[in-house]
Each structure stands twice: as C-alpha cells, then as structure tokens.
C-alpha cells in the first residue's frame, strides 16, 4: 500500500484504461436487450473487483488500527457486491428457458 | 516462479475470464456459463491477492469476507424479481462505498502521497462517494421509502449544485497539491461527495429511473478503475473500465429509447418539465368486458402482449403466461413485445416473464415486432402507456414526439388493460385509447387476465 504513482506507470495505466473502455463497448454492444438486467447485475459483480484493493488495505497496512477497520469495512462491502452480484445473476439466468426443440436447457 | 510473477499471471487470467464472461453474455444459451466464468475470474483474483507478500490481519480478512458473503447471498436469494432494480442499486452502492473506503485507507496509511496518487485517491473517493449515496437515493426512490419516486426540485437547486460542485473541484485541487497537511479537507471532500451523490439523483425520477440505474452502474465501474490508479493495479483498471463501458452503453440505449439526451435526463426531471399537453384528443373511449375479449381472443391466430411496469405492479406475469399457453393450445401464435424502457431498469420485463416461465424465444424486441404488427389479430397492452402512444410518430407538439414506440395501434384489435384513464409517466393523454380498433378493460390487470383464463378453461 506504499507505492506511489509516477508519470510512466500512470501512462501505462491510462493506456490500459482507454483500451479496456473500447473493449467493453464492443463487448456490451452485442448483448441483446433481453439480457440487459442480468448483464447489469453481472457486470456490477465485476466492479466488485475493488475487493482486491480492500484486501490489501486490511493486509498490507501494518501498525494502523484505523486502516484495519476501514479495510475490513471495505472488504465487507466489496464482498456483498461480488457475491450478491454473481448469485443474483445466476438466479436470473437460470430462469431463461426456451421451448424450441434441440435447444433444451 | 516468483510470487509477484504468479500473482500477475493470475490477474491476467482473471481479466481474460471477465472479458470472455462478458462476450458470452450475448446469448441466453451461454449466459449462465458466462456468469460462472466471470465469477471464477473473481475467485482467482481474490486468491492471488491473498498470496501477496506480507499479508497480515488474516482474522479481519476472514471476518470481512464471511460477513460480506452472508449478506450478499441472503440479499441475492431473497430479492423478488420485481425488486431487481432496487437490488442492483444497492449492489452498485456497496461497490462504490468500498472504493471510497479503499481510497481513504490508502491516504490514511500514506498521507504523503505523490501528486498523481493524490489525484487518484481524490477521484476514487469522489466517484465512489457519488455512487454510494446516489445508489441509496435511487433505491429509496424505487422502493418509494422515505422519499417519493417523483423528481424532487427546490428553488435555488441549480445554484446550490453549482456551488457544491465548485467546492468539490476547488477543494480537490488544494488537496491534491498538498495532501499531507490537508486531512481535515480530505474528510470534508468525502462528505461533499456523499452530498453530491444525493443531489445528483433526487431531481430525477419516474420513467427516468432506468437511465439512473445504468449510469450508477457505470460510475461503480469507474470508481473501481480509479481505485486501480490508487493502488497501481492493472486488473482493477481493466475490470473497472469494462463495467464503466457497459454502463455507458446501457445509458445510451435507454436515452435513445426515450428519445432524450442524457443532459436532458440529468438536468430536467420529466415531471418538472413544463407540461406540454399535446393535441387535444377527440373521440370516445370504448370499453369492453372479459367475456367479449374472450370471444375475440378465441378466434385470433396471432396475439401479441405488450407488458409495461403495470404488469409488475399487478404481479400479473404468471396469469399472463397461463393465458398465453391457453392461446397457444388454441392454435394462436403468442409473442411478447418488449419496449427497451418498459419497467424500471433495462431488460426488467424480460426477467419477470422469464420467471413466469415464458420461453425467451417468445420475447421479441421492439424493432423486430413492429414490421409484423399489421398481421397481428390481437394486441394486449398490459400496464403500458407511453410506449404505445402513436402521438410520438406524428404529433410534433407532444413531449414524446420522436420516441420509438411499439406500434400496438397497427394490430387489428387492441385491448388495453389499465386501472383507469390516468396518464403514464410522461403525463400525457394517449390517443391509442380513442382509436376505433381499441377497447379498454379497466380494473386490476391480474384479475382481468385471470377472468380470461377462467373463460378459456370453462369453454373447453
């Protein structure tokens, strides 16, 4: 938790950021509107990736009780986001069925 | 292989799984597996992070994950499909809050940040805070708890918001230039961004909620990406921006389906727009009874249901599916026409009908159903209003002029199930109700549909 951002690593990260935005747009544009609700809850679960930061905030801040408390709270909220998101998405997608032959669930 | 390399490789694997997961979301057949892949990616990311050198406080990590998992599973299994928009709002909010807290913790641990890290912390806290309180307000609006679902406006709102935004920006600049001596300012910025989240969402309401939910979805991703800049982690940036992009696309689709610009949605609540009445409609409304509707349905070869949020309110989706099955047994082709903004969030109607066991190949998007509407014998409009208002095609004075609609009026017969003649979210009269081929059936949609089901069953 101690590393500081310098201009070179910043440029690398911005590069990743821009490319990923374009990739995301391409991917999501292909999702049919019938699946938009599960798409939203599923992508929402992905945004719980901030859990990585939360885990580091608890685990890599030795000697600071306040950081441990903050980090634990962050882990709780990020886990709710991740677990809740994936489970509810699965629950929704399980319901999508078809009667067309050869396409059975 | 060194520990760092292993962790980096795992992060790459997780990113790839997220991307494949989103890609395979493009079909209902592969979507469930896609979600599992994405969850697998998240699992790998968490395990890899825990392998980092020097991780301590395991007991707190375990406690945090255990509590979060319990809450998450409980929420996900108990939520009703009608309440899915609220659920997604809460999930967005908790992700945003987590990003805010991570930003805070890393500043607290190392107040002497470089300028670039300070900017990243500021952005993570700002976007995370706005996402958190914005989502809580959106949840309360959807639930109609504590506050009304309608847009809330007050005098001086724009001035207040401008001052607030100005304070957040100026405070942010001062903080970033010299983070180490500005802890109190940092706390003030946290509080200001929380207030900003409330102020951004309260003037929006009613039919615009799908846009808000999509936008908050985007913010929660962006907050994650900003956190990635704070802790210098590529995985957070990749995953966060993928989600950010998905929210942007959904927001665009929603705005297009309502024929409004994002700026218009954000800064002028629909109810607060000066009421344009549109053209006064002449003619008379003709009503019908379930018995008469039954006779028409019985002879129909092609039936299209147009569901709106009223269907969810009346909990009529199961009754509709039962009626649909009886119609199919009777030899009719049954389809469901879904308008992009029907319901309270993108795709809301589809999950309600899927829950009621409607086969997804019967759910047809607006653009695909419209060219066939003229061959449809009966169109049943259930709890939908503005999305079938033909005024949007020709009446330039109507506030919904230009909005794409489902051409229900083109069907040979139209039955509209509605509680009363009350107007929809847009607050305008619907000329469809006055057409010669339209009959209104007033009352509870579920009761009406059930009456039709009984008619069918008793006549077999």
Residue B205 CA to residue B212 CA, distance in Å, equals 9
Residue B140 CA to residue B317 CA, distance in Å, equals 24
Query: Taking a C-beta distance cutoff of 8 angstroms, is the pair B444, B417 a contact?
Result: no
CATH of the domain at B342: 3.40.50.1220
Average pLDDT over every residue of B73-93? 93
Q: Are both B64 and B90 inside the same structural domain?
A: no
Instruction: State the residue range of the domain holding B361.
Output: 290-459
Contact B87 A41 (CB under 8 A): yes
In a domain, B275, yes or no: no
Residue B22 CA to residue B26 CA, distance in Å, equals 8
Three-class DSSP category at B150: coil
Instruction: State the residue range of the domain holding A91.
Output: 33-95
Residue where one domain finishes, among candidates B217, B236, B269? B269
Residue where one domain finishes, among candidates B25, B43, B78? B78
- Residue B460's pLDDT is 64
For residues A1 and B210, which has the higher predicted lDDT (pLDDT)? B210
pLDDT bracket for residue B291 (50, 70, 90): confident
Q: Which residues of A are less than 8 Å from B354 in CB distance?
A: 92, 95-97
- Give bridge partners of residue B128 from the DSSP assignment: none
**Residue B232 has which token pair?**
């210098």
Q: Are both B45 and B113 inside the same structural domain?
A: no
In a domain, A54, yes or no: yes
| pTM metric for this prediction | 0.89
Contact B363 A61 (CB under 8 A): no
Distance from CA of B287 to the nearest CA of A (A): 33
**Residue B386 has which token pair?**
């503005």
**ipTM over cut 0.90:** yes
What's the number of domains chain A is made of?
Answer: 1
Q: Are both B98 and B64 inside the same structural domain?
A: no
- Give bridge partners of residue B435 from the DSSP assignment: none
Residue B315 CA to residue B311 CA, distance in Å, equals 6
Q: Can B436 be counted among the known catalytic residues?
A: no
Residue where one domain finishes, among candidates B39, B61, B78? B78
Average pLDDT over every residue of B417-436? 80
In percent, the amount of chain B with pLDDT more than 70 equals 96
Contact A72 B64 (CB under 8 A): yes
Identify which of B435, B431, B446, B209 has the alpha carbon closest to the alpha carbon of residue B310: B446
Q: Are both B309 and B386 inside the same structural domain?
A: yes
Q: Are both B120 and B149 inside the same structural domain?
A: yes
- Give bridge partners of residue B440 from the DSSP assignment: B287, B416
Per DSSP, the residues of B357-405 read: T--GGGEEEHHHHGGGGGG-SEEEEES--GGG-THHHH-TTSTTTT---
Q: Pick the residue from chain A with its C-alpha nearest to B364.
A: A34
- Residue B142's pLDDT is 87
Say which of A16, A82, A90 has its CB closest to residue B42. A82
Average pLDDT over every residue of B276-296? 77
In a domain, B282, yes or no: no
Q: Are both B221 and B313 inside the same structural domain?
A: no
Residue B176 CA to residue B435 CA, distance in Å, equals 63
Q: Are both B117 and B148 inside the same structural domain?
A: yes
Contact A5 B117 (CB under 8 A): yes
Tell me the pLDDT tens digit for each residue of B388-418: 988 888 888 777 788 889 999 999 999 999 8
In a domain, A16, yes or no: no
In a domain, A6, yes or no: no
Contact B350 A74 (CB under 8 A): no
Tell me the pLDDT tens digit for each residue of B161-201: 999 999 999 999 999 999 989 999 999 999 999 999 999 99
In a domain, A27, yes or no: no
CA distances from B370 to B132, B338, B364, B409 (A): 39, 11, 10, 10
Tell me the pLDDT tens digit for each residue of B347-394: 899 999 999 999 989 999 998 999 999 999 999 999 888 889 888 888
Distance from CA of B212 to the nearest CA of A (A): 12
Q: Are both B184 and B260 inside the same structural domain?
A: yes
Q: Are both B363 and B220 inside the same structural domain?
A: no
In a domain, A13, yes or no: no
Contact B106 A1 (CB under 8 A): yes
User: In which residue ranges of chain A is pLDDT below 70?
Assistant: 1-3, 100-105
Q: Are both B29 and B172 inside the same structural domain?
A: no
A58: Cβ–Cβ under 8 A, 6 or more apart, which residues?
A67, A68, A71, A72, A74, A75, B57, B60, B61, B64
What's the number of domains chain B is made of?
Answer: 3
Pairing of strands B333-338, B302-307: parallel
What HEC string does B266-320 produce? Answer: HHCCHHHCCCCCCCCCCCCCCECCHHHHHHHHHHCCEEEEEECHHHHHCCCHHHH
In a domain, A66, yes or no: yes
In a domain, A44, yes or no: yes
Residue B393 CA to residue B435 CA, distance in Å, equals 15
In a domain, B15, yes or no: yes
Q: Which residues of A are less than 8 Å from B232 in CB distance?
A: 3, 5, 9, 13
- Residue B338's pLDDT is 92
Q: Are both B354 and B423 inside the same structural domain?
A: yes
Three-class DSSP category at B418: strand
Tell me the pLDDT tens digit for each residue of B18-64: 999 999 999 999 999 999 999 999 999 999 999 998 888 899 999 99
Cα B35 to chain centroid, rounded: 18
Q: Are both B123 and B263 inside the same structural domain?
A: yes
- Residue A2's pLDDT is 55
Averaged pLDDT score across all residues of chain B: 89
Q: Which residues of B are less than 8 Å from A98 in CB distance?
A: 28, 359-361
Say which of A38, A67, A76 has its CB closest to residue B68. A76
In a domain, B280, yes or no: no
In a domain, A82, yes or no: yes
Tell me the pLDDT tens digit for each residue of B304-330: 999 988 888 888 899 999 999 999 998
Pairing of strands B333-338, B413-418: unpaired
Distance from CA of A102 to the nearest CA of B (A): 12
């Amino acid at each position: 938790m101690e590393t500081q951002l310098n201009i070179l690593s910043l440029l690398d990260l911005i590069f990743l950021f821009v490319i990923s935005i374009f990739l995301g747009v391409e991917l999501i544009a292909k999702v049919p509107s019938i699946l938009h609700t599960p798409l939203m809850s599923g992508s929402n679960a992905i945004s719980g990736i901030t859990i990585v930061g939360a885990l580091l905030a608890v685990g890599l801040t030795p000697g600071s009780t306040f950081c441990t408390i903050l980090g634990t709270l962050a882990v709780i909220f990020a886990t709710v986001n991740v677990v809740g998101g994936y489970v509810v998405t699965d629950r929704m997608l399980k319901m999508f069925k078809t009667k067309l032959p050869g396409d059975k669930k | 292989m060194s520990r760092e390399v292993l962790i980096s490789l795992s992060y790459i694997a997780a990113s790839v799984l997220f991307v494949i997961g989103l890609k395979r979301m493009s079909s209902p057949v592969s979507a469930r597996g896609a979600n599992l892949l994405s969850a697998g990616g998240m699992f790998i990311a968490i395990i890899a992070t825990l392998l980092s050198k020097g991780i301590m406080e395991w007991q707190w990590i375990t406690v945090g994950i255990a509590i979060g998992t319990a809450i998450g599973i409980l929420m996900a299994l108990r939520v009703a499909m009608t309440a899915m928009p609220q659920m997604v709002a809460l999930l967005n909010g908790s992700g945003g809050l987590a990003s805010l807290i991570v930003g805070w913790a890393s500043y607290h641990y190392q107040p002497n940040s470089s300028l670039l890290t300070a900017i990243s912390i500021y952005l993570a806290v700002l976007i995370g805070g706005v996402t958190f309180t914005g989502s809580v307000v959106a949840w309360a609006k959807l639930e109609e708890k504590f506050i009304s679902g309608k847009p809330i406006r007050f005098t001086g709102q724009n001035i207040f918001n401008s001052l607030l935004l100005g304070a957040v920006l100026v405070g942010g600049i001062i903080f970033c230039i010299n983070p180490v001596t500005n802890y109190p300012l940092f706390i003030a910025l946290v509080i200001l961004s929380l207030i900003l989240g409330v102020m951004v969402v309260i003037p929006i309401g009613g039919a615009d909620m799908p846009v808000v939910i999509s936008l908050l979805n985007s913010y929660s991703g962006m907050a994650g990406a900003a956190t990635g800049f704070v802790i210098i982690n590529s995985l957070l940036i990749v995953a966060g921006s993928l989600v950010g992009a998905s929210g942007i696309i959904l927001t665009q689709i929603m705005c297009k389906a309502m024929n409004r610009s994002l700026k218009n949605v954000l800064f002028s609540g629909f109810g607060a727009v000066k009421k344009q009445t549109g053209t006064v409609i002449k003619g008379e409304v003709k009503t019908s009874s379930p018995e008469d509707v039954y006779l028409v349905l019985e002879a129909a070869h092609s039936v299209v249901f147009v569901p709106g949020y009223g269907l969810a309110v009346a909990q009529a989706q199961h009754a509709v599916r039962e009626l649909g099955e009886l119609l199919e047994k009777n030899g009719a082709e049954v389809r469901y026409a879904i308008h992009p903004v029907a319901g309270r969030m993108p795709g809301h109607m589809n999950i309600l009908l899927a829950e009621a066991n409607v086969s997804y190949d019967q759910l047809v998007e607006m653009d695909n159903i419209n060219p066939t509407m003229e061959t449809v014998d009966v169109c049943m409009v259930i709890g939908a209003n503005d999305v079938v208002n033909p005024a949007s095609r020709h009446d330039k004075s109507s506030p919904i002029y230009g909005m794409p609609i489902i051409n229900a009026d083109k069907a040979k017969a139209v039955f509209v199930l509605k509680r009363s003649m009350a107007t929809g979210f847009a607050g305008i009269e619907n000329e469809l109700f006055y057409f010669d081929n339209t009959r209104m059936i007033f009352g509870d949609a579920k009761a009406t549909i059930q009456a039709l089901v009984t008619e069918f069953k008793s006549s077999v």
